[in-house]
């Protein structure tokens, strides 16, 4: 997606500005109209704060209309037809277009319960979630009262807007909407970084199939050339990092048992802060290993 | 199974002795007959050495007959009908009566290749193996020459005999035919052994389904009341120990992220020495863990 | 010291009983007299409880006399002359006969302040302490009010009595007055216990010289044949365990840098529970190590 | 020290060039004269290679004169009087002006033995060493034959030249003459980097007193703002990093024993590669810790 410079937005006509930012909030150009009057903006954070203020200070009816303008998460038909391009891309990122039967049934059930209770669609910033965590979020939010839930929906709309703005607008400052997941393999048998180790990052799913998100190989410094996830929020969820250490030691003729005591090592952990930095290293010998949440 | 005292065997008539030990080697009472003459035995190890010597010094034709007296591993029909009680119990212990389709096909294939090449059944001490390691052993031994493979088959017959003897005869000394797998959970967050942690031991299978072998809960010393496996050989194979640490810390109100960074921790390792002592401990906090092969 | 059986004490005359237990509490046979009437005792714990009850229920004047019957800790002259044999042996165990000038001055200062403030000698169960921790205890107790301090002195007298009773009387049950400090070295480079590693246990001193308490060598299981400290309370204090791992790996021709990255490894820790079990293991490779408080 | 640009050296007259580089090798301007003719140099590595080639290809008599032009390491009087400013600064960096009596005696002894055996002064690139490692180097080199030792002396002269050149000349490329020592403290109790931990780096000495080289406090990322050593070679030697973790946890009200099980944690290690990168992290809880050689 090509970006527009903040300076150009500051200099644009009201109509141009509104056109550029119209879909930052789903089908709600009135927000961009209101924000246009606050120009110029010193940075993208200031622009986002203006958008957020416009949303949060809107009258209850307008907020409700805003919420209702959002697509129904579990309506596969609607996803195929009437979503904005932005919305469609976001929802696919969590794997919502690859639901197993059990997952589909679970989504249907909680989504119907949600709409029945609140009378408006469930809104969540999908890019900050995995399928599992959306289901957990549904359960948590279903127990809210309507007033709390309206506030939560508005929060999520703001998070979605932040991510869209981050993709759309180029500025000197950055919105804090991205996280980073990285790893590092230290070979404590040789006292050196472990290079050439195959690493897989797997998103674990309770109901459907777990899926490999990233495959990489450690470089001479024991790291992957790029972070395992970066440039986007880290989806809340459970993961497994899998390291092929048996092969690594076999190639270096390190004495091992047969089969090797350690071969593929799984490190299982959860991500709870989409904008956080997670460093999950592996310190390893053919007979021991350790990990920790690093930074 | 009731045991017979070594002293009684020493004092028994030749016929009684042979009757008692007839099935220590499958359908081959001539071994017991030969060994009977060497009495008295100071211990079970001496008795076993005599049995082993009788087998290993038998003429090639007799050894071949001995090998052919063993059941065909993958012939399910034969398993149900003509096996000795000992043989049937042993083969079920590795889960050979619970093969998946893929496993069954793999067993059929290698077993047929083995019989075709060598003209005698594949013999392995099943209690020292998991399904996976039997398949690996098949592949290794298929590449042997006949002479090597005859020696290997005799070795396995001796191992089977040792285990049967260990179950059958009570003596002051012990045959070294058992291994031990244990664990220990240290909570480095509180500086105390972690009690009340649910632990599962799972045997991993490449082709079929992995299965839970043992379930236990750690006691006040962070250990399980009994070893995870003991009183038998440890089946060669790949395993996973799974520790429910998320629940443990939640019950103690330790501050954690939501979902917890660490919840169920899997430690994946292989056993290669059926008669060895494996200690696989877990040192854990809500944010880190380590393991090693202990003793 | 030869022990007397509890059954003999139960059967003895009043005079014999009192003679046997006279010095369990310094110069205070009246306690034994009072306790004699409660016989028979089912176990040593019951006997000790009777002694403790007699001391704690004594009238204030009698308690004060009891406190004053104890030697002045820092009076070296008195130590040489008028201490009971029990008291002398106990105080030497903490190294009070090997004070540096700075330590001696510190003891003099706090001891004088204590006597001046409370009008009775400072009493502590010396065998539960190192020199450093006695100085810390002095500082803490100097800030007490007299009533609190009388109670604390009586507590310490009971602890001293328990240790003397444990040495004096043989019974089926045991008083819980001993601790245990042990270690274990796991070589994660070879996946085996590390045998033949020289280990030193050093008591650290803030003012005087640190001193080696125990020297040992790890056996085939990576442990020392006997615990580093056992059969007595663990003196509260700061310690260092020193492991000669450079020599261990050099002897095994493990590739290392020159000088080796790790040579003598110090593990520094404190003991705070004299009756506790401290296990301080070392998991080591030529390039890494870890320790934790085990059990 | 102000630097001269390589481009200026390339453009300078022969006399200017020789004047600028005269002392890169002690009292031996003939080297600079020879090298001047090879200009222009594309980078500092190329310039250094030319200097090295000139030294290594010099006739034996000239090499010997070069060696003899160097100061006698242990002659304190000479150090005070006749050393070049460069030489004096270098030798002080290893603490050679702060020798204990025992160290001084040891230096005198080996230095005399060296001069007696070889008839020329012992030369070592002092900035790559600690006092201890110079004494070890003496012992090793004393057992060499003269021819080997001449080669070793020339090697050290080249190392000294490289460091002087690095300080003297500014260029686009860099000589690989610097190492880096860094640390990182991860608090596995809270799952966060440990900030505000006081760290001391101590150079250990066998004969004299150990001395604190660096004091620092960890920042919000658990690291020190600057590496513990950088911008120079890491002196070969034994070190201890000391971390005040007891204070850190006490300030955060983490439950601990009294005295705390872990208070000041020493990590003892050796540096053997002056131009290497050493990362020595601490993973810690109030009850456990681990370290490893990182990168």
- DSSP string of D24-68, one letter each residue: GSTT-HHHHHHHHTT---SSHHHHHHHHHHHHHTS-HHHHHHHHH
Pair (B221, B277) in one structural domain: yes
D11's CB contacts (< 8 A; 6+ apart) are none
Is B295 part of a structural domain of the chain? Answer: no
Peptide linkage before D194 cis (omega within 30 of 0):
no
- Grade residue A90 by pLDDT with cuts at 50, 70 and 90: low
pLDDT score at D50: 97
- Using CA coordinates, name the residue in chain B closest to D288: B188
Which subunits have 3 or more CB–CB pairs within 8 Å of chain B?
A, C, D
pLDDT score at A78: 37
- Grade residue D195 by pLDDT with cuts at 50, 70 and 90: very high
pLDDT score at A81: 40
Q: State the smallest CA–CA distance between residue D183 and chain B in angstroms.
A: 19
We report the CATH number of the domain holding residue A208 as: 2.60.40.180
We report the CATH number of the domain holding residue C162 as: 1.10.3330.10
Q: State the smallest CA–CA distance between residue C203 and chain D in angstroms.
A: 14
pLDDT score at A80: 37
Answer whether residue A91 shows pLDDT above 70.
Answer: no
What the block records as the tokens of C37 is 């009437």
**B/C interface, count of CB pairs below 8 Å:** 27
Q: Give the three-state DSSP class for B273.
A: coil
Q: State the smallest CA–CA distance between residue C6 and chain D in angstroms.
A: 36
What the block records as the tokens of D174 is 């860099």
Return mean pLDDT, chain C: 91
Tens place of pLDDT for every residue, chain B, 295 residues? 589 999 999 999 999 999 999 889 877 889 999 999 999 999 999 999 999 999 999 999 999 999 998 888 766 433 434 456 666 666 666 777 777 888 888 888 999 999 999 999 999 999 999 989 999 999 999 999 999 999 999 999 999 999 999 999 999 999 999 999 999 999 999 999 999 999 999 999 988 789 999 999 999 999 999 999 999 999 999 999 999 999 999 999 999 999 999 999 999 999 999 999 999 999 999 999 999 999 8
Is A295 part of a structural domain of the chain? Answer: no
Pair (D67, D149) in one structural domain: yes
Is D295 part of a structural domain of the chain? Answer: no
Per the structure, how many domains does chain A have? 2
Pair (B76, B99) in one structural domain: yes
pLDDT score at C209: 83
- Cβ-defined contact of A189 to C283 (cutoff 8 Å): no
pLDDT score at D209: 83
Answer whether residue A200 shows pLDDT above 70.
Answer: yes
- Grade residue D7 by pLDDT with cuts at 50, 70 and 90: very high
pLDDT score at A262: 98
Residue A292 contacts C where some CB pair is shorter than 8 Å: no
In this complex, which of B186, B193, B294 lies closest to C186 when CB atoms are compared? B294
Q: What are the residues facing C216 on neighbouring strands?
A: C199
DSSP C182-194: E--EEETTTTEE-
Residue C291 contacts A where some CB pair is shorter than 8 Å: no
**Residue D234 DSSP symbol:** P
Is C157 part of a structural domain of the chain? Answer: yes
A86-90, B64-68, C163-167, range with the lowest pLDDT: A86-90
Interface test with chain C among D262, D278, D294, by most C beta carbons within 10 Å: D262
- Grade residue A84 by pLDDT with cuts at 50, 70 and 90: low
Query: With pLDDT > 70 as the criterion, what percentage of chain D qualifies?
Result: 93
Q: Which of B123, B144, B170 marks a domain boundary?
A: B170
Query: With pLDDT > 90 as the criterion, what percentage of chain A qualifies?
Result: 80
- Cβ-defined contact of C261 to D269 (cutoff 8 Å): yes
Pair (C9, C144) in one structural domain: yes
Q: Select from A279, A13, A17 the least CA-distant residue to A169.
A: A17
Pair (D159, D187) in one structural domain: no
- Cβ-defined contact of A272 to B258 (cutoff 8 Å): yes
Pair (C279, C136) in one structural domain: no
In this complex, which of A191, A283, A288 lies closest to C261 when CB atoms are compared? A191
Q: State the smallest CA–CA distance between residue C155 and chain D in angstroms.
A: 19
**B/D interface, count of CB pairs below 8 Å:** 32
- Cβ-defined contact of D288 to B286 (cutoff 8 Å): no
- Cβ-defined contact of A287 to C261 (cutoff 8 Å): no
Distance, C-alpha B161 to centroid of its chain: 14
- Cβ-defined contact of C189 to A189 (cutoff 8 Å): yes
D221's CB contacts (< 8 A; 6+ apart) are A295, D184, D193, D195
Residues of C in contact with A254 (CB under 8 A): none
Q: State the smallest CA–CA distance between residue D51 and chain A in angstroms.
A: 32
Residue D192: CB atoms within 10 A of its CB come to 16
Pair (C256, C217) in one structural domain: yes
- Cβ-defined contact of A222 to D293 (cutoff 8 Å): no
Q: State the smallest CA–CA distance between residue C252 and chain A in angstroms.
A: 14
Can you tell me the distance from the alpha carbon of D26 to that of D157, in angstroms, rounded to the nearest whole number? 9
Mean pLDDT to the nearest integer, A11-33: 90
Residues of A in contact with D292 (CB under 8 A): 186, 188, 191, 283
Answer whether residue D76 shows pLDDT above 90.
Answer: no
pLDDT score at C81: 40
Pair (D159, D70) in one structural domain: yes
Is D86 part of a structural domain of the chain? Answer: yes
Can you tell me the distance from the alpha carbon of A235 to that of A134, in angstroms, rounded to the nearest whole number? 10
Q: Which of B119, B150, B170 marks a domain boundary?
A: B170
Answer whether residue D1 shows pLDDT above 70.
Answer: no
Residue B260 contacts A where some CB pair is shorter than 8 Å: yes
Pair (D163, D187) in one structural domain: no
| Cβ(B3)–Cβ(B170) below 8 Å | yes
Pair (C165, C189) in one structural domain: no
pLDDT tens digits, one per residue of D104-163 = 888 889 999 999 999 999 999 999 999 899 999 999 999 999 999 999 999 999 999 999
- Cβ-defined contact of B295 to C188 (cutoff 8 Å): no
Is B81 part of a structural domain of the chain? Answer: yes
Interface subset of A 219-238, CB within 8 angstroms of D: 221-222
Q: Give the three-state DSSP class for A4.
A: strand
Residue B287 contacts C where some CB pair is shorter than 8 Å: no
Q: Predicted ipTM?
A: 0.92
- Cβ-defined contact of C261 to D238 (cutoff 8 Å): no
Q: State the smallest CA–CA distance between residue A247 and chain C in angstroms.
A: 17
Residue A273 contacts B where some CB pair is shorter than 8 Å: yes
Answer whether residue D292 shows pLDDT above 50.
Answer: yes
Residue A188 contacts B where some CB pair is shorter than 8 Å: no
Q: What are the residues facing C26 on neighbouring strands?
A: none
Q: Check: pTM over 0.80? Answer yes or no.
A: yes
pLDDT score at C102: 84
Q: Select from B266, B288, A271 the least CA-distant residue to D191.
A: B288
Pair (A185, A162) in one structural domain: no
Residue B291 contacts A where some CB pair is shorter than 8 Å: yes
Q: State the smallest CA–CA distance between residue D199 and chain A in angstroms.
A: 19
- CB environment C72-109: b (16+ within 10 A), e (fewer): bbbbeeebeeebbebbbebbebbbbeebeeebeebbee
Return mean pLDDT, chain A: 91
What backbone phi and psi angles, to 5 degrees, belong to D158?
-65, -40
Answer whether residue D96 shows pLDDT above 90.
Answer: no
Burial class (CB in 10 A: 0-12, 13-18, 19+), C203: buried
Interface subset of A 116-175, CB within 8 angstroms of C: none
Pair (C120, C192) in one structural domain: no
Answer whether residue C75 shows pLDDT above 70.
Answer: no
Is C295 part of a structural domain of the chain? Answer: no
- Grade residue D263 by pLDDT with cuts at 50, 70 and 90: very high
Residue D270 contacts C where some CB pair is shorter than 8 Å: yes
Q: State the smallest CA–CA distance between residue A272 and chain C in angstroms.
A: 28
| Cβ(B50)–Cβ(B35) below 8 Å | yes
Q: Which of B111, B143, B170 marks a domain boundary?
A: B170
- Using CA coordinates, name the residue in chain C closest to D257: C272
Q: State the smallest CA–CA distance between residue A258 and chain C in angstroms.
A: 13
Residue A188 contacts C where some CB pair is shorter than 8 Å: yes
pLDDT tens digits, one per residue of C96-115 = 777 788 888 888 899 999 99
Answer whether residue D9 shows pLDDT above 90.
Answer: yes
Is D135 part of a structural domain of the chain? Answer: yes
Q: Which domain holds residue A217?
A: 179-290
- Using CA coordinates, name the residue in chain C closest to A188: C287
pLDDT score at D78: 37
pLDDT score at B86: 63
pLDDT score at D85: 59
- Using CA coordinates, name the residue in chain A closest to B235: A259
- Cβ-defined contact of A268 to B272 (cutoff 8 Å): no
- Grade residue D93 by pLDDT with cuts at 50, 70 and 90: low
Interface test with chain A among C189, C286, C289, by most A beta carbons within 10 Å: C189
């Amino acid at each position: 997606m090509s970006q527009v410079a903040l300076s150009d937005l500051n200099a644009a006509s009201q109509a141009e500005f509104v056109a550029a930012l119209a879909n930052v909030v789903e089908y709600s150009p009135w927000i961009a109209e209101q924000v246009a009057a606050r120009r110029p903006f010193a940075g993208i954070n200031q622009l986002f704060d203006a958008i957020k203020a416009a949303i949060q200070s809107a009258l209850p009816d307008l907020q409700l209309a805003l919420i209702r303008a959002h697509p129904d998460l579990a309506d596969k038909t609607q996803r195929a037809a009437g979503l904005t391009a932005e919305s469609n891309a976001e929802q696919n990122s969590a794997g919502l277009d690859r639901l197993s039967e059990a997952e589909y049934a679970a989504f249907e059930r909680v989504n119907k319960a949600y709409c029945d209770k609140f009378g408006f669609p469930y809104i969540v910033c999908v890019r900050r979630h995995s399928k599992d965590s959306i289901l957990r979020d549904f359960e948590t939010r279903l127990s809210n009262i309507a007033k709390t839930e309206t506030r939560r929906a508005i929060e999520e709309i703001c998070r979605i807007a932040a991510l869209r703005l981050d993709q759309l607008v180029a500025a000197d400052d950055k919105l804090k909407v991205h996280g980073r997941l990285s790893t590092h393999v230290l070979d404590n048998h040789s006292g050196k970084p472990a290079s050439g180790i195959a690493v897989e990052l797997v998103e674990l799913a309770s109901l459907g199939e777990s899926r490999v998100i990233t495959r990489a190989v450690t470089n001479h410094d024991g790291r992957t050339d790029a972070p395992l996830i970066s440039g986007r929020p880290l989806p809340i969820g459970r993961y497994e990092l899998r390291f092929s250490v048996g092969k690594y030691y076999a190639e270096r003729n390190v004495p091992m048992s047969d089969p090797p005591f350690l071969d593929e090592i799984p490190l299982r952990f959860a991500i709870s802060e989409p904008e956080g930095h997670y460093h999950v290293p592996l310190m390893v010998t053919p007979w021991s290993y350790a990990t920790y949440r690093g930074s």
